[in-house]
Structure 1
Amino acid sequence: MTNDPNETSQPTAGVPLTASLVARAASLAEAPLPDDVRELARQCVLDWAGVALAGANEPLSRILLAQAREDGGAPIASLVGTPLRLSVRQAALLNGAAGHAIDYDDANMAAQGHVTAAVLPAALAVGESRAASGDVLLRAFAAGYEMTGMVGQYLGRAHYERGFHGTATVGSFGAACAAAVLMALDRDSTAVALGIAGTQAGGMKAQFGTMCKPLHAGKANENGVTGAQLAARGFTGRADLLEAAQGFALATSPAPDAQAALAMPPGGTHLHNNLFKYHAACYGTHSSIEAVRTLCEAHQLTAADIERIDLDVEPGAQRMCDIVQPATGLQAKFSLRLNAALAVAGADTASPATYIDSTAQRPDLIALRERVAVHFMPDGWPLMQAAVRILTRDGRTLSARHDSGVPERDLARQRARLARKFMALAAPVVGPDRAAAIERAIGALDHIEDIGTLMSMLSQPTGTTS
């Protein structure tokens, strides 16, 4: 495709791209999910539930709730972490923001963002309002996830490098798709819903390190719900906004690629390439954390042993997680240097409680942070790979690599690891007994007749922090 603003993209003769994407996503929702896809979808729900419960009491979540209560609205859909109900649109917004508030939710490289936080809350809000079953919810989520991956591939990495946060932009299309499935829209109306959602979509990476980054996830869900709701009422909009002349792709990407959008992802679906986070920081820092920690543990290094740390990372990290002198806990999540220092210090980077203002301001961590040099490698470097070299004060140079962009293929092992993460996040909020009950319910989600049962478990905290 050229950059001609009057050009449209057609993947096959006479078939608009959006129609092709809707057909592929819908095929996931219209038949029973394969066992591995269903398990991956349940794992996404479990991971999101933990991070959303932990994020529901964050300052940004409280501000959004105060605004929603002032706005008013019909109490239809549950709000995670509180006994309150909001309108479907408001619940999608607030639950979406809560799920990204501590930046500990999953990611997908093809989708250029955090897919579950951008799609699942829309599906939950719409599904709860319609007493949808757990099986229908999982199918809708899988369809929305697939749409997000396809749109992300269509726009290409250049969309993200231009400064757009894919969680907000690409995620809006996935949320609209999931909501449309739950509302039983036909394929033509679903395409219009995507167009309505897309014309609202925005989100700038310049907001990383502020409350607006989690807001991006919330807005993706809200945009998707609004798109589906309005399309269902006959609201008009382009059914080909993605590929239209002066449409979404040509406005936000220098080289949209329809064939990339339609290419089969590894494993058969984009869900197969979901990446879960086990450090409560920007995903771009994870490979560095892992490699530094591996070297320190293998050679029993402490900060006193280290002269310098060199990190080789992808060039895009400079615009994603290169806050050089973080002053707050939120900024610390986006600092390669500070996270390398935390890894040396043996800090619990799996705990959101590590990422607080006092951590960013600790003199020992600042001193170590200043001995970290970040090198942004040429284009073509693997997106989530880090090469680490530690120069010790006794003259040794120790090296390690880690690639956090490789998904886990052992789903049972991944499930066990996610269960531990979930309990660590959820138990302080709802208590260990309810957290265990939620975990069991999500494990059997495809057998739940009405997802309102699960939402009621997530919406009334009983722990000490509620």
Structure 2
Amino acid sequence: MSNDVDHTLRLATFLSRLKFEDLQPDVINQAKLSILNSLGCGIGSSLSPPAIKVSSAVLRPDESCLDATIIGRSQRARLEDAILINGVALTTADYDDTHLKTVVHPSGTPLAALLSWAEVKHLSGKDFILAFVCGVEAQCAVANAISPSHYQHGWHITGTTGSFGAAAAIAKALSLNPHKFAAALGHAASMAGGIRAMFGTDTKTLHMGRAAQNGFLAAQLAESEFDSCPRAIESWMKLVSDNVTEKDLSALAAGGPFELLDNTFKPYPCGIVIHPLIDGCLNEHEFLRHRNMVASLQETLEVVEVVVNPQCVRLCSIRHPRSGLETIFSLYHGCAVALVYGRAGPAELSDAACNDSIIRSIRDKIQVTTDQSVADDAAKLKFRYSSKSVSTDAAILEDHEVFIVHATGSLAKPMSAQQVEDKFLDQSKAIIGAGKSSDIIKLCRSLEDVADMSELGALLTPS
């Protein structure tokens, strides 16, 4: 890589000079939906074991300056602690958004850092949206340059790039000049981390929470003229990826189109590469239901042969998950619950669902083949049945194939704004109440008109 151009500074310059007026309406709308989607995920997991455990580790009842809201809780926390706890909650269920080109979850990390900062500093809605967009764009720009080898080598790309996203969001909120902005990205480079080996554990949720804290600290240091080196992102990339080219680096500050427009929302709380399989098994469940064969499925089903992109197996190959956190990374579990129950929501991907004997038996009947020619959002499924219990139409006992061309929630088949709002309500109303949930949706629809973001913070707690 050439040392003639400081691509870190170029990216920092582009983001530091970006104005709200530079954002097209579709970018603003996608930002507001992304914020709402992530807030719902945070509220829905606010009382999850990882969120409770990290709260127990960092909160002290005798502390002063408890300025920031903890999403979904009546407690408050120091700004840095709230960033960590909220970051953990936002990603616990793996229900957050996905930038499909890189499989980064781009909203949660900058949002966790920015939400607390905006509440304490009384940021306006316009400034909040702009800073959020800068965070997402920085994170996705870095992710684009290091994909796919970075992920394939075992790094958790949301964790490693998250520090850049949070640093850029706070740097923008602080109105840092290009050189200080670049220094913030440099500090983030030295704090970036996260490995895929932690999938299915509490540590995986820490990747987002800690990256949000790291980015916040990085921007604060840069504002205080804490120095960093030139070309910091480039130096980091040399260590964590083996396929970065000058072209990739030049794209860091290309100035558009905005990567946020390639952001997608999940209909199921699990690894997005499982979604086409869940779609296929939901289709098969309906096929069986119309023939009154669901009840005898455990007896009649011999095998489910699935063909997926290798990425699906690389990320989600746990056959028998032992916890809700592990179901997120189990293509076998996702298939089984969709096929048996016709649902794949938070209740079906939970601690309780892991030990279901019927689900376990179906998981054992799933055989997986990988094919690089199958797209990430596609899957081929063949269901083979026996004739042990012929009580209905004999045709059901023949092989039945399903081909999912594009999964629900993909760029080709995206969730609508109404579906995202319904998803938010499903997660939030039991925790903060239906009234506050509806108020948050209304606020996010016109977020650019909000004068003080502490208004949102007040809505994120139980009534």
Contact 1:153 1:257 in 2 (8 A): no
Q: 2:37 aligns with which of 44, 47, 60?
A: 47
Q: TM-score, normalised by structure 1?
A: 0.90
Q: Which amino acid aligns with 2:24?
A: P
Separation (CA, whole Å) in 1 of partners of 2:320 and 2:326: 9
Alignment match of 1:278 (pick from 267, 280, 283): 267
| In structure 2, C-alpha distance between the alignment counterparts of 1:283 and 1:84, rounded to whole Å | 32
Match of 2:237 in 1: 249
Judged with a 3 Å threshold, the aligned counterparts in structure 2 of structure 1 residues 47 and 189 are, in CA distance, closer, same or farther, namely: same
Structure 2 counterpart of 1:399, one-letter code? V
Contact between 1:111 and 1:148, CA under 8 Å: does it hold in 2? no
Aligned-pair distance for 1:429? 0.3
CA distance in 2, matches of 1:152, 1:40: 19
Cα distance change of structure 1 residues 214 and 223 upon mapping to structure 2, 3 Å threshold: same
Contact 2:282 2:342 in 1 (8 A): no
**CA offset at residue 129 of structure 1?**
2.4
- Decide whether aligned partners of structure 1 residues 208 and 383 sit closer, same or farther in structure 2, where only a CA change above 3 A counts: same
Question: How far apart are the structure 2 equivalents of 1:234 and 1:175?
Answer: 18
Distance in 1 (alpha carbons) for counterparts of 2:221 and 2:10: 22
Question: What SS does structure 1 have at the residue aligned with 2:158?
Answer: coil
Looking at structure 2, the residues matched to 224 and 358 of structure 1 have their Cα atoms a distance apart, in angstroms, of 35
| Paired position in structure 2 for 1:22 | 12
Task: Give 2:462's aligned residue.
Answer: 461
Amino acid at match of 2:428: A
Match of 2:305 in 1: 310
Deviations 1:30-60 (A, max 9, x none): 5342111111000011111111011111111
1:390 aligns with 2:392: no
Of residues 142-151 and 74-83 in structure 1, the stretch that sits farther from structure 2 once superposed is 74-83
Which amino acid in the other structure matches residue 269 of structure 2? A
Deviation at 1:98, TM superposition (A): 0.8
Q: How many Å separate the matches in 2 of 1:328 and 1:315?
A: 24
Distance of 2:237 and 2:215 partners within structure 1: 17
Which of the numbers 95, 102, 108 marks the counterpart of 2:86? 95
2:389 corresponds to which residue?
Answer: none
Alignment deviations for residues 45-94 of structure 1 (CA, whole Å, 9 cap, x no partner): 11111110111111111111122213946323222122333233222211
- How far the C-alpha of 1:384 sits from its partner, in A, is 3.2
Is 2:316 the partner of 1:321?
yes
1:457 and 1:106 map into 2 onto residues whose CA distance is 22
Q: CA deviation at 1:114?
A: 0.9
**CA shift for structure 1 position 409:** 7.2
TM-score (norm 2): 0.90
Cα deviation per residue 1:338-380 (whole Å; 9 max; x = unaligned)?
Answer: 1111111124313x122223311111111111110111223x5
Task: Look up the match of 1:337.
Answer: 332
Moved more, 86-95 or 432-441: 86-95
Q: How many Å separate the matches in 2 of 1:240 and 1:372?
A: 48
* AA matched with 1:326: P
Write the mapping of 1:124-163 to structure 2, written as runs, cut at 5 A.
124-163=115-154
- Name 2:363's counterpart in structure 1: 369
Q: Report if the CA contact (8 A) 2:51-2:88 is conserved.
A: yes
Shift of 1:22: 2.2
Q: Which amino acid aligns with 1:403?
A: H
| 3-state SS of paired residue (2:10) | helix
Change (3 A) 1:436 1:122: same
Where 2:306 maps in the other structure, the secondary structure is: strand
Q: Which of 184, 195, 209 in structure 2 is aligned with 1:204?
A: 195
> Residues 29 and 385 (structure 1 numbering): CA distance in 2 closer, same or farther, change over 3 Å?
farther
Aligned Cα RMSD in Å?
2.3
Cα distance, 1:317 vs structure 2: 2.4
**2:95 matches 1:81:** no
Identity of aligned residues (%): 26
Name the SS for the 2:179 alignment partner: helix
Q: Which residue, 245, 253, 258 being the options, matches 1:269?
A: 258
- The question of 1:292 aligning with 2:281 is answered yes
1:83-135 deviation line (CA, Å, top 9, x unaligned): 33323322221111110112111111234321111211111122222211011
* Whole-angstrom CA distance in 2 between matches of 1:73 and 1:208: 35
User: What is the letter of the counterpart of residue 87 of structure 1?
Assistant: R
Displacement after TM superposition at 1:239 (Å): 3.8
Change in CA separation of 1:404 and 1:28 when aligned onto 2, cut-off 3 Å: farther
**Retained in 2: the 8 A contact 1:26–1:181?**
yes
For structure 2, the residue ranges without an aligned partner over 5 or more in a row are 387-396
SS at match of 1:82: coil
User: Aligned partners of 1:385 and 1:145: how far apart in 2?
Assistant: 26
Q: In the alignment, is residue 61 of structure 1 matched against residue 54 of structure 2?
A: no
* Structure 1: 5+ residue stretches without partners: 1-7
> SS at 1:62's partner residue?
helix
Instruction: State how far apart, in whole Å, the 1-side matches of 2:54 and 2:352 are.
Output: 25
Q: 1:4 — aligned with what?
A: none
CA distance in 2, matches of 1:405, 1:27: 36
In the superposition, relative to structure 1, how do residues 182 and 134 fare at CA in structure 2: closer, same or farther (>3 Å)? same
Structure 2 match to 1:429: 431
**Does structure 1 retain, via aligned residues, the 8 Å contact 2:142–2:161?**
yes
